[in-house]
Structure 1
Amino acid sequence: MSLIGRTRARGVETLSLDSPGNRNALSAALVGELSDALTDCAKDTDVRAVVLTHTGNTFSAGADLRDPPHPDALVGLLRQIVELPRPVLARVTGHVRAGGLGLLAACDIAAAAHTASFAFTEVRIGVAPAVISLPLLPRTDPRALARYYLTGERFDAPEAARIGLLTAAGDDVDAVLEPILDGLRRSAPEALAETKRLLTARVLESFDRDAGRLTALSARLFASPQAREGMTAFLERRDPSWVV
């Protein structure tokens, strides 16, 4: 059974994270299927833009703790979104946690309904938002990231737009995206690709400079005793031992 739904309308390919049973957590299988779908979109000249969305009430709960992707695979997926020669838009109507926020930051444009919520929950299970910082740090307000990275607090869609995680938020996310998609359909494909390269150059510099270091950090933290305690506590629905 596929974990990625695919539809197309007027040159826009919609890829839906379709694993609602685990809240679209980023498993090794889901990351692999999404990467394959993006590869197809990059090769297909009929695709003018890609919309990344979800089924269920969660865009993505972050890494699948039972079947996590290798950090290198997640780096590869995020870079693939940034480098795709088509604009990639995130469409969010539910909750986004941890690694799912890396997908949003990698997209060129991200829109969410006011019902969406966001949180960098890594510190609460004993790890850090390492790999997802590659697209996040260049694109998001640093003071806001300091607060939300360090506390794991939940924040809403208007706040996500204020700090640069989202392009826009509204009561009806499709109404928000409609004029954006219309503009992309009216834009010349080669011009779009070259304009995207201008916009993503700084983000790709962070991948070139920091990917190896952050991948190693992620692997080290996920193998740590605190991470084992944090993940066990999460799965057992209890506070980890360090909570005071």
Structure 2
Amino acid sequence: MNAFETLAFAQNGTVATLTLNRPDVRNAFNETVIAELTGAFRALADEPSVRAIVLSGNGPAFCAGADLNWMKKMAGYSDDENRADALRLAEMLRAIYTCPKPVIARVQGDTYAGGVGLVAACDIVVAVDTANFCLSEAKLGLIPATISPYVIRALGEQASRRYFITAERFSAAEAHRLGLVHELVSADGLDAKVADITATLVANSPNAVRESKRLVREVAGAAVNDALLADTAERIAAIRASEEGREGVQSFLGKRKPNWLLPA
């Protein structure tokens, strides 16, 4: 990994951690953050030594959304420049959402606007019970457009309708109840819970994890028809015949560890 201006990077075994590292502005993102996150997730997607990714934040807030100075600069953009800028943000979120490695959001503090989109694009969300969330765009005369595909999937249509138009803050407990947050913990228990989840993830077949992520993306919302039945039958047949599929079954029957858990 190259050096970053706005992120911190660490790798412990097969787990990589990317940390938003702008605590002075509550980890708000600008064009540099967007470019660095996009590049980092694309690089980690192809890094064979990494089996899971943790997205974290430095300081009291996880992410406050867009940087005010960046927003001031955008006010002077032409229509074409605004579209290109918005598309770069959308590409960053897609890089996280479609990353073949599992991504865990470690939410240690408040998460607003685009920060909620970052969280929603991750696979698993662990948050401290004191965090607050807010889709605050309507207060500024804006809409949460680029983050909406991920937030609506995570919160559901009904809750998204409310919080998009009211711009109310809601608690971590409410985020957990609605499904945006998977695990709610104390600040003291945050790292232990994230470590437990990453240990579980890296014990699984890397190929099965990758294909399971793709399965959810491509089957969610699909009509249950002959085409879907044929597609899912083809997926299970293919993975049964795969190298890791055969190794997993054989190691289970032989009461031994599969080769993806053995030292390289």
Q: Tell me if both proteins adopt one fold, taking TM over 0.5 as the criterion.
A: yes
1:75 matches 2:90:
yes
Deviation digits for residues 37-61 of structure 1 (CA, Å, limit 9, x no counterpart): 1122112101001000010111111
1:51 matches 2:54:
yes
Unaligned segments of structure 1, at least 5 residues: 206-244
Shift of 1:141: 2.6
Q: Does structure 2 retain, via aligned residues, the 8 Å contact 1:82–1:204? A: no
1:177 matches 2:194:
yes
1:88 matches 2:103:
yes
Amino acid at match of 2:52: A
Q: Distance in 1 between matches of 2:34 and 2:193?
A: 27
1:133 matches 2:148:
yes
Q: Distance in 2 between matches of 1:31 and 1:83?
A: 16
Q: Could you tell which deviates more after superposition, 174-183 or 145-154?
A: 174-183
Give the 3-state SS of the residue equivalent to 2:17 in structure 1: strand
* Aligned-residue identity in percent: 38
Tell me which of 24, 35, 40 is aligned to 1:37: 40
Give the 3-state SS of the residue equivalent to 2:145 in structure 1: coil
CA RMSD of aligned residues (A): 1.8
1:200 matches 2:203:
no
Shift of 1:203: 7.5
Corresponding residue for 1:187? 204
1:149 matches 2:152:
no
Q: Does structure 2 retain, via aligned residues, the 8 Å contact 1:82–1:200? A: no
The alpha-carbon distance between structure 1 residues 129 and 18, as it changes in their structure 2 partners (threshold 3 A), is same
Corresponding residue for 2:66? 63
Structure (1 or 2) with the larger CA radius of gyration = 2
Amino acid at match of 1:166: V
Amino acid at match of 1:24: N
Q: Distance in 2 between matches of 1:201 and 1:183?
A: 24
TM-score by length of 1: 0.80
Amino acid at match of 2:90: V
Shift of 1:107: 0.4
Deviation digits for residues 121-177 of structure 1 (CA, Å, limit 9, x no counterpart): 100011011111011112223222222111111111111111111111111222322
Paired positions, count: 205
Shift of 1:64: 1.7
Deviation digits for residues 36-91 of structure 1 (CA, Å, limit 9, x no counterpart): 11122112101001000010111111112322581101110111111111001100
Q: Distance in 2 between matches of 1:152 and 1:79?
A: 24
Give the 3-state SS of the residue equivalent to 1:67 in structure 2: helix
Give the 3-state SS of the residue equivalent to 1:66 in structure 2: helix
TM-score by length of 2: 0.74
Counterparts of residues 16-31 of structure 1 (less than 5 Å): 16-31=19-34
Deviation digits for residues 95-133 of structure 1 (CA, Å, limit 9, x no counterpart): 100000001110011110112110011000110111110
